[in-house]
Structure 1
């Protein structure tokens, strides 16, 4: 069964405390926190301050998706604030290999994210040292987008590489995930499902339950 990571991008910030309590009472293990700078992606959203405040109020794993140009300083601040998994887009860093090493030095798990236009082969040399590979199933930067079914082949490709080399990373997907697209992603090899609109617009608990019960067919 997959790990479910509700995305706070779709949460009601005026009800955030109550919503996190609801999430914590379910089988969800992660909170997915999108950090955006208005450069790599058009929107500006969250940062190390919200990560630090979340850390004080929840024991859920803080799965931080860092969508910024030159992520080095942001990654350090998010790690110190209490982020648990720090995932960045390798094309945004001058030295992505070194950045992964730095995340590990800070005692955190390191992930790399592939947007729909980035080939896995471009950063294949990073795969042996990461803890998570995030395959974006929409273009990054906006919530509520329609799932791109073409990305199922990319998920399957990552799974084949993982199995062939006995790599230990998780395969996460993010974008347009609901019970139907989530099932397709699980079938392709994903084991972490990020879901925002689907979770927060469908009662939180029943939506998380539906996703967490998916099994590979």
Structure 2
């Protein structure tokens, strides 16, 4: 066809798009505003989920063959792994010498991730950092399964949640994240004050899933 069936116009540029291999109508877009947006192709006026955590433009994205998570590479020199329906990343990879990441790919067995950055290097990462590679004996396999079951059972406890979610961040990324949180909080306060001092109903607050969308053209 010479014209698109549907067109979605956003406020900032989309650098890459990946379709979910297990849910053919769902796709995720890597955007210039540090976030990724998951959409249902049948309903493009609102994002299904907004994936945050990067502090700079997201340059590339790729889904796992299982469709349960995807990997992103960003201008902030990090690689992150997100659950397909989660707002925050479950894992972050970085090294001192790795520069801006422009491409990322999942392996066909969902065990590895390869990233390419502008320091001319390709890097191979494990999809699960703590997973033991190679042949596992039956007792080792049972031990790993038991440990995962314990973590899932007590993941709601604050102490366990902090251990599971804690990741070391380089100082520049940590500072950039703090600055970004400060800016977002300031915008929220400004919007609340404007709404409080305006005529009731004159200012409508849009949800985060709709805020970055300008319009949809059919």
**Which of the five TM-score ranges fits, normalised by the shorter chain?**
under 0.3
Structure having greater relative contact order (Cα 8 Å, sep ≥ 6) = 1
TM-score by length of 1: 0.26
Q: Which has the higher helix share?
A: 1
